Amino acid sequence: MTTVAVKPATMAQALTRALRDAMAADPAVHVMGEDVGTLGGVFRVTDGLAKEFGETRCTDTPLAEAGILGTAVGMAMYGLRPVVEMQFDAFAYPAFEQLISHVSRMRNRTRGRMPLPITVRVPYGGGIGGVEHHSDSSEAYYMATPGLHVVTPATVADAYGLLRRAIASDDPVVFLEPKRLYWSKDTWNPEQPTDVEPIGRAVVRRTGRSATLITYGPSVPVCLEAAEAAQAEGWDLEVVDLRSLVPFDDDTVCASVRRTGRAVVVHESGGFGGPGGEIAARVTERCFHHLEAPVLRVAGFDIPYPPPMLERHHLPGVDRILDAVARLQWEAEG
Amino acid sequence: MTVMEQRGAYRPAPPPAWQPRTDPAPLLPDERPYRVLGTEAAAKADPELLRRLYAQLVRGRRYNAQATALTKQGRLAVYPSSTGQEACEVAAALALEERDWLFPSYRDTLAVIARGVDPVEALTLLRGDWHTGYDPYAHRVAPLSTPLATQLPHAVGLAHAARLKGDDVVALAMVGDGGTSEGDFHEALNFAAVWQAPVVFLVQNNGFAISVPLAKQTAAPSLAHKAVGYGVPGRLVDGNDAAAVHEVLTDAVRHAREGGGPTLVEAVTYRIDAHTNADDATRYRGDTEIDAWRDHDPVLLLERELTDRGLLDEDTVRRAREDAETMAADLRARMNRDPELDPMHLFDQVYAETTSQLREQRALLRAELAAERQDQEGGAR
């Protein structure tokens, strides 16, 4: 029996491959954004696409996010499948009006006659030493807008599979790419990329019996590390990677919490008004009689994203997660 | 040679002198709004086209009156009237071929119906039974856009996509004077110019953004001049002269179709009615101003031209009025019937596939409706 040597690939490479395969499979797929053509994107995710497919399929646009998304709306109206790159999380804000007033609601407004199959790729989150406006976790804004799917991968294989799913979706998808995982590596065979489940399915990354860590995107590896460290304390933690914030996979999350009886939600986004509040409420409403302790949140502080030399104090780390786990009323029964 | 002179000799050459990339002169609009009616140019206008425009203006005027009446009767939640602006509305629709696309703003229901959309379907947004009542693909009319200028980049993207696919399609996007202050106006003009997209931007400068007059909106020489900064030709036209607006827009559409890129047309007109029925225009303008514009009324101007040239017989006038009355009677009759509403449709088409969260909420509403029905039946017993 021969085994194919599978080299480690980065998440960025998997994303590039997903774009390339999507463009090869469907001539309607157009990539557009700032610096995505000749340069290949500031994170090189669109590297080589303009060369392979031409500049009309992978287009350097003027520097104007509302214009990029607004013209993508018109292109989608005419049957194209635009994949838009917002260069950084905080640079996507000028496009909010297009996203909220048109992209999210065009299908509903027109009773399904004018769906907009647009993928909006947004590099997000901190941990890369970025200066101001380069490290925001903006997912709560997108989650609060009906009509959008909000998807974020945490592994190399998911990055490929979920982006292919997002581009193939007939609905608009905000595809949040965890910047600090762009260079994370995993064994992954680009010649045989595996499909993932449809958008909206969470996955249990690590099984455990003591408590569930509910997380997504850049916080998944942190939670897995925390789970390993927790073993020394005698806790066997389960880690659920949501993969999709909208639609939300209540079934997978609640099945896990019902098994473990305890839950902590972990994300970089601020806690107040952040995704964790919604998740904690959903879990409490559905699993109240299985819970041994209140659902806790470990989140970024409710502050503007800090300067890079201080960001490590802001980002949820292993210690802060374990401290939260310790507060899950282990001694309270009796 | 002094040291300074020596240094001067070694001074690096200055960068090449700046040259404009485009000669701005051909892009500049006329000093005065272009006119046809009452000028020598009118002799060249096709009488059949003028009569067609006239019939559409009469119909449009009647439509505005009927829709305004329907708000007073509570049949429309709100109506932003285009009375006084019918020439722009009608000419925009008539300048396009069937395969072209119209991108209207919320005041442009008249252009939408002139393009062939059913008037009742065009008014569902303002009646409030659904946002977009018509199929945008049936007559190639984008949904009426309420957020100002946001429809302009859509028009650019659609025109760009059509050209990429090799289709001979032009998009005409409508916006008001206030809308030209929005960022999306700027971004749309810029994208259209860079991509040389086959788009025509029609700015209806009706003097007011609700209550704010143009003087507080811009310091530009004219709104048409804004085009020049993007490398786009700007045209200034009398927006109450239906023949002139039609000619300028037809030229711009042809130019775009032939690969010449976008044009910005500013049509100078006046909003005779208040912003909507909910507005009180007496707070910001006087009757003398309105009366002056009534003398420059689009229907009147065209009627005068046709009459002076003996092109308007009684029969044509009677037929135009009858046609308008038939349209109004039909609109009245159909708008006076309560629309059929099904609250369960609220959850349709939010996503291609309904999420489990929305299924739960739909079940909740269904139970509420069942309880409501039960209460009503119980009360009736």
Query: Is B148 touching A (CB cutoff 8 A)?
Result: no
- Same domain assignment for residues A159 and A21: yes
Predicted pLDDT of residue B9: 62
> Last residue of some domain: A163, A187, A211?
A187
d(CA A77, CA B199): 15
Query: Is A255 touching B (CB cutoff 8 A)?
Result: no
Q: Does residue A134 carry a catalytic annotation? A: yes
In eight-state DSSP terms, residue A115 is: -
Average pLDDT, chain B: 95
Half-sphere exposure of A115 (CA within 13 A, CB side): 17
Question: Among A175, A218, A181, which Cα is nearest to A43's?
Answer: A181
pLDDT > 90: percent of chain B: 92
Query: Is A246 touching B (CB cutoff 8 A)?
Result: yes
Query: Is A148 touching B (CB cutoff 8 A)?
Result: no
Question: Which amino acid does the sequence have at A185?
Answer: K
Average pLDDT, chain A: 96
d(CA A92, CA A64): 10
Does residue B168 carry a pLDDT above 80?
yes
Domain count, chain A: 2
- The full 3-state SS of chain B, as one line of letters, equals CCHHHHHHHHCCCCCCCCCCCCCCHHHCCCCCCECCCCCHHHHHCCHHHHHHHHHHHHHHHHHHHHHHHHHHCCCCCCCCCCCCCHHHHHHHHHCCCCCCEEECECCCHHHHHHCCCCHHHHCHHHHCCCCCCCCHHHHCECCCECCCCCHHHHHHHHHHHHHHCCCCCCEEEEEECHHHHCHHHHHHHHHHHHHCCCEEEEEEECCEECCEEHHHCCCCCCCHHHHHHHCCCEEEEECCCHHHHHHHHHHHHHHHHCCCCCEEEEEECCCCCCCCCCCCHHHCCCHHHHHHHHCCCHHHHHHHHHHHCCCCCHHHHHHHHHHHHHHHHHHHHHHCCCCCCCHHHHHCCCCCCCCHHHHHHHHHHHHHHHHHHHHHHHHHC
Mean pLDDT within B53-60: 98
- Same domain assignment for residues B374 and B290: no
Any domain includes A333: no
d(CA B295, CA B315): 25
**A304 SS3 class:** coil
Any domain includes A197: no
- Same domain assignment for residues A239 and A134: no
- Same domain assignment for residues B268 and B358: no
- Same domain assignment for residues B375 and B237: no
Mean pLDDT within B293-312: 96
Predicted pLDDT of residue B2: 62
Any domain includes B59: yes
- Same domain assignment for residues B366 and B288: no
Does residue B3 carry a pLDDT above 80?
no
Q: Confidence class of residue B21 from pLDDT cuts 50, 70 and 90?
A: confident
d(CA B285, CA B289): 7
Q: Which two tokens stand for residue A181?
A: 């995982």
Any domain includes A1: no
Does residue B302 carry a pLDDT above 60?
yes
Active-site residue, from B186, B255, B257, B284:
B284
Any domain includes B18: no
Does residue B20 carry a pLDDT above 80?
no
Mean pLDDT within A305-332: 95
Any domain includes B15: no
- Same domain assignment for residues B59 and B78: yes
Question: Of A200-204, A310-314, B309-313, where does mean pLDDT reach its minimum?
Answer: B309-313
- Same domain assignment for residues A168 and A59: yes
Query: Which residue reads 């067609």 in tokens?
Result: B52
Query: Which residues of chain A are within 8 Å of residue B160 when distances are taken between CB atoms?
Result: 71, 74-75
- Same domain assignment for residues A68 and A173: yes
* Residue of chain B with shortest Cα separation from A169: B352
Any domain includes A192: no
Smallest Cβ distance to B183: which of A66, A71, A76? A66
Query: Is B229 touching A (CB cutoff 8 A)?
Result: no
**A82 SS3 class:** strand
> Last residue of some domain: A157, A187, A217?
A187
Question: Among A322, A1, A6, which Cα is nearest to A189's?
Answer: A6
Smallest Cβ distance to A108: which of B150, B171, B349? B349
**A197 SS3 class:** coil
Does residue A3 carry a pLDDT above 60?
no
Any domain includes A195: no
- Same domain assignment for residues A51 and A155: yes
Q: What is the CATH number of the domain that holds B243?
A: 3.40.50.970
- Same domain assignment for residues A12 and A140: yes
Does residue A1 carry a pLDDT above 50?
no
> Last residue of some domain: B316, B335, B354?
B335
Q: What is the CATH number of the domain that holds A215?
A: 3.40.50.920
Q: What is the CATH number of the domain that holds A159?
A: 3.40.50.970
Mean pLDDT within B303-310: 95
Half-sphere exposure of B10 (CA within 13 A, CB side): 6
Any domain includes A45: yes
- Dihedral angle over CA of A73, A77, A83, A86, nearest 10: 0
Domain count, chain B: 2
d(CA B68, CA B331): 12
Any domain includes B227: yes
Any domain includes B13: no
Mean pLDDT within B237-249: 98
Does residue A5 carry a pLDDT above 60?
no
Query: Which residues of chain A are within 8 Å of residue B128 when distances are taken between CB atoms?
Result: none
- Same domain assignment for residues A151 and A24: yes
Q: A82 with A30: CB under 8 angstroms? A: yes
d(CA B326, CA B313): 20
d(CA B247, CA B135): 29
- Same domain assignment for residues A159 and A218: no
Contact A147 B160 (CB under 8 A): no
Any domain includes B20: no
Query: Which residues of chain A are within 8 Å of residue B154 when distances are taken between CB atoms?
Result: 70-71, 73-74, 77, 102
Rg (CA), chain B: 25
Any domain includes A175: yes
Query: Is B97 touching A (CB cutoff 8 A)?
Result: no
Q: B63 with B120: CB under 8 angstroms? A: no
Q: Confidence class of residue B8 from pLDDT cuts 50, 70 and 90?
A: low
Does residue B18 carry a pLDDT above 80?
no
Any domain includes A12: yes
Question: Of A76-85, B19-28, B92-101, B368-377, where does mean pLDDT reach its minimum?
Answer: B19-28
Q: At residue B172, what are phi and psi to the nearest 5 degrees?
A: -115, 120
- Same domain assignment for residues A60 and A178: yes
- Same domain assignment for residues A234 and A293: yes
Q: B4: Cβ–Cβ under 8 A, 6 or more apart, which residues?
A: none
- Same domain assignment for residues B65 and B195: yes
Contact B348 A73 (CB under 8 A): no
* Residue of chain B with shortest Cα separation from A251: B356
Mutate to test the interface with A, among B101, B345, B347, B351 (most CBs of A within 10 A): B351
**What residues make up the domain containing B372?**
343-380
Any domain includes B3: no
Query: Which residues of chain A are within 8 Å of residue B357 when distances are taken between CB atoms?
Result: 247-248, 250
> Last residue of some domain: B335, B354, B370?
B335
- Same domain assignment for residues B217 and B306: yes
Predicted pLDDT of residue B119: 97
Query: Which residue reads 């890129």 in tokens?
Result: B261
Q: Which B-chain residues 294-313 have CB contacts (< 8 A) with chain A?
A: none
> Last residue of some domain: A137, A153, A187?
A187
Contact A98 B132 (CB under 8 A): no
pLDDT tens digits, A174-197:
999 999 999 999 988 888 887 889
Predicted pLDDT of residue A334: 41
Helix axes A11-25, A156-168, angle to 10 degrees: 30
**What residues make up the domain containing A68?**
8-187
Does residue B381 carry a pLDDT above 70?
no
Q: Confidence class of residue B5 from pLDDT cuts 50, 70 and 90?
A: low
Question: Among B206, B202, B150, which Cα is nearest to B178's?
Answer: B206
Q: Does residue B271 carry a catalytic annotation? A: yes
Other Cβ atoms less than 10 A from the Cβ of B269: the count is: 29
